[in-house]
Amino acid sequence: MIRVENLHKSFKTNHVLRGINEHITQGEKVVVIGPSGSGKSTFLRCLNLLEKPTEGRIYVDDECITDPKCNINAVRAKMGMVFQHFNLFPHLTVLQNLTLAPTLLKLQTKEQAEAKARALLSRVGLEEKADAYPKQLSGGQQQRVGIARSLAMNPEIMLFDEPTSALDPEMVGEVLAVMRQLAEDGMTMVVVTHEMGFAKEVADRVLFMDEGIIMEKGTPKEIFENPQNERTKSFLSKVLS
Amino acid sequence: MVSALMLRERIKMMEWFLNTDLWHSIYASLIEGERWKMLLNGLGTTLIITIGAMALGTVLGIILALCKISKIKPLKWISSFYIDVIRGTPVVVQLLIMYFVIFASWNVNKTLIAIIAFGLNSAAYVAEIIRAGILGVDKGQMEAGRSLGLTHAQTMARIIMPQAIKSILPTYANEFIVLVKETAVAGYIAIEDLTKMGDIIRSKTYEALIPLLIVALIYLFITSILSKVFKRLEERMRASDSR
């Protein structure tokens, strides 16, 4: 579903990604872990071209999105993205946050989009907040709206960029619950997170990134119980202690 | 008896006042030869130039701002250059160049020339105001819009601009008020705006204080009305902000 070949990304002189090869298949839940500055967020943001790779190729559904001729907007429409800081649209109500893109892109009529939005809001437990503005919601509620907003586009893939890192600890659980449910429903997910519990429980595969490459990958069992790489061991001993 | 006395007192005071220099000066400045009409016409010209220039400046300012934040290098350079040149030179000089150089050989209405000159000037300031407003919107907003599959233009129009407008409005209003006062130099190309009219009256009556004071008061009146109107608008926006 997503194929990454020899991905490099530099910001000026800072070489953040140094050759990443990865294949994510349909329905797979991939969790990316690693120390901060390891390039995991940059990797994720390259997958929908929020960052432009300096080198390498990325294929989504066999379409080469790094090809300049590719219509990236159409590809992004089927890839949802959830941000660390939610990035909800503060001037729109929760419902409008969900319906804006589908109606503007003429994928759904206003009525369809609203019905779909209300269904999604009840799925994340926020149906009564449809007419509220993002500012009136707690962080956890905002992030659940963020997830619902992405789902409103009927994406095939969901990308999560540290979705719980900006939340107060007591709100992490509600967001992870929504993500867990999404995983159970069979969504293809790529999640960058520091929540090791979530990684162990939900991931089909865990990628450990450091210094701009994937140092080690494997099932959660392999990575967490029997890490091979020294870096992985030292990272895990720090975060799990 | 008492009221008759008071009436006489008042008539006396009136007579005294009508004999003062102050009254003679006011009379000469406003009433004699219906000079108040000159001031009114001058005010009309000032307002026409201001409103016309603001309209031109806003449209051009938006275009300049979009050019300056665009990724297309030549557009960026041109708009930066334009803004630097306009902001780095006096508006009077720009007005004179417009009148004596650019439109020298054409018979164009002077008020229109002033509108163009002040409009081109204001555009540079409006552009910077709008650019600052757009850049003030969190970067994540553009990313969120683009990640949903919206184009750059769609995200700009539906997500960025509605948020930017809130920070743009107060400074934009200020630019409007500045422009009202700035047009006072229109007299340099012999346009009979409010200031020029006051000056004409001064030269005819040999009275400087009263005509110029009246002109100043009219400017003050106009700018304080504008500032009240914009403050109202701002408050309304802020009210919708805390919903």
Which chain A residues are Cβ-neighbours of B157 within 8 angstroms? none
Average pLDDT for B158-164: 93
Residue A161: the pLDDT is 96
List all residues of chain B from 69 to 88 with a beta carbon under 8 Å from chain A.
Answer: none
Residue B109: the pLDDT is 92
> Is A91–B149 a contact, with Cβ atoms under 8 angstroms apart?
no
- What is the C-alpha separation between A106 and A138, in angstroms, rounded? 31
Q: Are the C-beta atoms of residues B176 and B226 closer than 8 Å to each other? A: yes
For residue B109, the SS3 value is coil
Tell me, yes or no, if A85 comes closer than 8 A to chain B by beta carbon: yes
> Is B147–A48 a contact, with Cβ atoms under 8 angstroms apart?
yes
For B187, other C-beta atoms within 10 Å of its C-beta total 18
* Distances B10 to B3, B27, B238 between C-alpha atoms, Å: 10, 20, 51
How close is the nearest chain B Cα to the Cα of A218, in Å?
29
Sort A151 into a burial class: Cβ within 10 Å, 0-12 / 13-18 / 19+.
Answer: buried
Which chain B residues are Cβ-neighbours of A91 within 8 angstroms? 159, 162-163
Average pLDDT for B123-139: 95
Residue B242: the pLDDT is 52
- What is the C-alpha separation between B54 and B178, in angstroms, rounded? 11
- What is the C-alpha separation between A211 and A190, in angstroms, rounded? 19
Average pLDDT for B1-8: 79
Residue B3: the pLDDT is 79
Backbone region of residue B105 per phi and psi (left: phi > 0; alpha: psi in -120 to 50; beta: other values): alpha
Nearest CA in chain B to A73: B149
Q: How is the beta sheet containing A55-60 ordered, strand by strand?
A: A14-24, A2-11, A55-60, A63-64
Which chain B residues are Cβ-neighbours of A77 within 8 angstroms? 148-149
Query: Which of the four pLDDT bands, split at 50, 70 and 90, describes residue B210?
Result: confident
How close is the nearest chain B Cα to the Cα of A34, in Å?
23
List all residues of chain A from 101 to 160 with a beta carbon under 8 Å from chain B.
Answer: 101, 104-105, 133, 136, 149-150, 153
pLDDT of residue B2 exceeding 70, the answer is no
Residue B209: the pLDDT is 86
Residue B106: the pLDDT is 86
**pLDDT tens digits for chain A (241 residues)?**
899 999 999 998 899 999 999 999 999 999 999 998 899 999 999 999 999 999 999 999 989 999 989 999 999 999 999 999 999 999 999 999 999 999 999 999 999 999 999 999 999 999 999 999 999 999 999 999 999 999 999 999 999 999 999 999 999 999 999 999 999 999 999 999 999 999 999 999 999 999 999 999 999 999 999 999 999 999 999 888 7
Query: Which of the four pLDDT bands, split at 50, 70 and 90, describes residue B5?
Result: confident
Amino acid at A232: T
Residue B20: the pLDDT is 83
pTM confidence score: 0.81
pLDDT of residue B243 exceeding 60, the answer is no
> Is B149–A73 a contact, with Cβ atoms under 8 angstroms apart?
yes
pLDDT of residue B241 exceeding 70, the answer is no
Which chain A residues are Cβ-neighbours of B163 within 8 angstroms? 90-91
Q: What is the mean pLDDT of chain B?
A: 90
pLDDT of residue B33 exceeding 80, the answer is no
- What is the C-alpha separation between A102 and A109, in angstroms, rounded? 8
- What is the C-alpha separation between A40 and A16, in angstroms, rounded? 9
Partner-chain residue, chosen from A78, A133, A149, that has the shortest CB–CB distance to B243: A133
pLDDT of residue B226 exceeding 60, the answer is yes
